[in-house]
Structure 1
């Protein structure tokens, strides 16, 4: 499906809004299924998305267990001696948090189906200042850069003979705390290089910019731009009414 980048941005905003509003695991699961259907409709390979998110599965599992253990309330499901280790409210909240994060991540993947230049052009045509549109584009581009920096640092540690899988959890946390600084340094260095390149190309040298490509909204874009916010407001209204 070929849609305008601005239409995709509105769809993503509507999906993430619903993900933030709803707290039920069942509703969030249906929202995740609908978002996955959109990914398939846009021709995104789900296997590549899963491979990309595989390094974060352990973090999601730790977050899920933390929510389950440290959220009291409801029926007791698991006890260790006299300690209530797992209760129903914690299990529901943990599942909701993980499903919410997956919905937001899956919705963000929709933005990768368009060129970053098209997003800038579309926002500028919406009378958004070019500097703000450019900052949004750079922020989206720097997320994978930050991940690549972390992967490079971890690979460098492993090449020096440190097997992270065999390191105890206490030392592993200490190790990752020290790995954070070179990751931030590498990211800041790339940001400085980007700023030098921008200045060399005359960024903000003229008050107005011209664009080779112009984006035009189709009837489908207009329909989705009206239908998605309307459906989102309707679902929020039903949620508030039933709540």
Structure 2
């Protein structure tokens, strides 16, 4: 089996195996969503929330990193400062939603890091190494192509409507008619095309798939796993003893 390719989509300084990226996504999402934020744990939660920021810096996505950091800090500090001064109804409807979004944003940004730095071949090869069923691998592989294509299609529709001076925010009805309707029709067509492409490439074949992608653990993966072990060796005892 041939396994050779340039690692990743980008010229990234931190080269991680797709399995390590999946582990990071899982750990950060579970820690922030299911974990507690009482006492010292609130400050420990800032550590996994900082991980997507560091990875965006490593990708030289400085603008995205600053936007993410600003949104997270404003949501985190703003909700704590405004809760005592706002009515209960406002806190339940808006402040609580904003506070909960601070637990979702880091996991979503790690998902963005996974999608933007991992090719379909690398992901499929990693799933094959883990003996994951094709029922899970194929839909996620299609999503790797689906999301970037959707973004490009929406940009194309937006530029076309701007050229025709149609569907601005001043007229929401026309915007839905001239932008969203063509966009949604394109989404259906793109989904069908990508599904057919996946079948053509043989992603659902029961035979062992041959690919030209080299994956494997490096010292970056070892360092990340070691840091995760150190973090949870401190986090879990504190969370257990506080109960």
TM-score normalized with structure 1 length:
0.67
- The reply on whether 1:35 has 2:52 as its aligned counterpart is yes
Which digits, 9 at most, give the CA deviation of each residue in 1:145-187, with x for residues without a partner?
Answer: 223333333333333323624x1xxx52x45554444322212
1:126, distance to aligned residue in structure 2 (A): 0.9
Matched, 1:150 2:167: no
Q: Could you tell me how far apart the structure 1 residues matched to 2:108 and 2:194 are?
A: 26
DSSP 3-state at the match of 1:185: helix
- Structure 1 segment 184-195 matched on structure 2, within 5 A: 184-195=184-195
The question of whether the paired residues in 2 share the 8 Å contact of 1:149 and 1:183 is answered with yes
d(CA) in 2 for partners of 1:135 and 1:37? 29
Q: Deviations over 1:112-157 (max 9, x none)?
A: 2232211110111111134532321221331232233333333333
How far apart in 2 are the matches of 1:22 and 1:194?
A: 37
C-alpha contact (below 8 Å) 1:28/1:99 kept by paired residues: no
Question: Cα offset for 1:222?
Answer: 4.8
Q: How many residues align?
A: 215
Q: Does 1:235 align with 2:239?
A: no
SS at match of 1:146: helix
Q: Secondary structure at the match of 1:164?
A: coil
Name the CA distance, whole Å, in 2 between partners of 1:205 and 1:20.
Answer: 36
- What's 2:143 paired with? 139
Aligned partners of 2:232 and 2:182: how far apart in 1? Answer: 42
In structure 2, what is the Cα distance between the partners aligned to 1:201 and 1:90? 47
Looking at structure 1, the residues matched to 236 and 168 of structure 2 have their Cα atoms a distance apart, in angstroms, of: 45
In structure 2, relative to structure 1, the CA distance for the partners of 1:145 and 1:201 (3 Å cut) is: closer
Q: Verify the 8 A CA contact 1:23 1:96 in the aligned structure 2.
A: no
User: Alpha carbon RMSD of aligned pairs, Å?
Assistant: 3.9
Equivalent in the alignment of 2:21:
8
- Contact persistence 1:35–1:107 (CA under 8 A): yes
Is the CA contact 1:153–1:182 (under 8 Å) kept in the aligned structure 2? Answer: yes
**In structure 2, C-alpha distance between the alignment counterparts of 1:23 and 1:154, rounded to whole Å:** 42
1:105 aligns with 2:108: yes
Moved more, 199-208 or 145-154: 199-208
CA distance in 2, matches of 1:91, 1:205: 47
Asked if the contact 1:7–1:221 (Cα under 8 Å) also holds between the matched residues in 2, the reply is yes
Unaligned 5+ segments in structure 1 are: none
Query: Whose relative contact order is higher, 1 or 2, with alpha carbons under 8 Å and at least 6 apart?
Result: 2
Report the secondary structure of 1:145's partner residue. Answer: helix
Q: TM-score, normalised by structure 2?
A: 0.67
